[in-house]
Amino acid sequence: VRKGIVMQVEKHVLVVDDSSTVRQQLEFFLEPEGYAITTAANAEEGLAAAATRQFDLCIIDVNMPGKNGLEMIRELRAVEGYKKTPMFVLTTESTKNIIDVGTEVGATAWIVKPFKQDLLLKGIRKVLAG
């Protein structure tokens, strides 16, 4: 970074959802906003991707074949480098009981599908600011 020039550092976002529709929706919505998107179709793929590089934000579905998204967050929180990484849960689940589990495993925020693009973007900018 040269003196007097502010460089925008690209933020890397990991999207984990078993629906290709949702993965593509987020990819096509967030990439033009300047985010680099990596997608995974299940928790195992997501964990593998997280092991290969440090992501700035993870957006994770709950109900997926195999390990669910909350279990994935619990595992990621135990990994050095992901203890403070923002982790958004993006799911159709909206009840208090399961959101309490989200709190317990260390999720940062809970968003119920179908998501509002403007609110999601605002939330992402908020946690990635600075």
Partner 1 sequence: MSADLAKHALLVEPKDGKLSGIAPVLRTFGFELVSVADVSAARAIVATSRLLSLVAIDCAIGEEAGAALLKHIKDEHSELPVVWVGTRSSPAPVSESGHAPDIFIQHPADPALLREDVEHLLWQHAYPQPLRDHLERCCRDAMRRSYTVELTLAGTYLRANRSALGGVTAILPFVGRRLSGRLLVGTERSVLAAIRRRALVPTPPATDAEIDDMAGEFANVVVGRVKEHFVLQGLDFVVGTPVVVSGEGNTLSYRGSRPTLVQTFRSEVGDVRVALCFDVLGGGDATLLDAESRTVVETGEIVFL
CB of 21 to partner 1, least distance (A): 5
Of positions 96, 125, 129, 130, contacts partner 1 by CB under 8 A? 96
Q: What sign results for the dihedral spanned by CA atoms 67, 69, 74, 75? A: positive
List Cα–Cα distances, 25 to 11, 28, 37, 117, in angstroms. Answer: 18, 5, 11, 10
Please report, for residues 14, 38, 86, 108, 121, the alpha-carbon distance to residue 126 in angstroms, rounded to integers and kept in the order given: 17, 20, 10, 12, 8
By C-beta, is 49 or 109 nearer to partner 1?
109
- The CB-of-95 to partner 1 minimum distance in angstroms stands at 5
Please state whether the peptide bond connecting residue 32 to the residue before it is cis, i.e. omega within 30 degrees of 0: no
- Taking CB under 8 A as the criterion, the residue among 83, 112, 125, 128 binding partner 1 is 112
83 binds partner 1 (CB under 8 A): no
Instruction: Assess 102 for contact with partner 1 (CB under 8 A).
Output: yes
Residues in contact with partner 1 by CB under 8 A are 19-22, 24-25, 28, 63, 65, 88, 91-97, 99, 102-103, 107-116, 119-120, 122-123
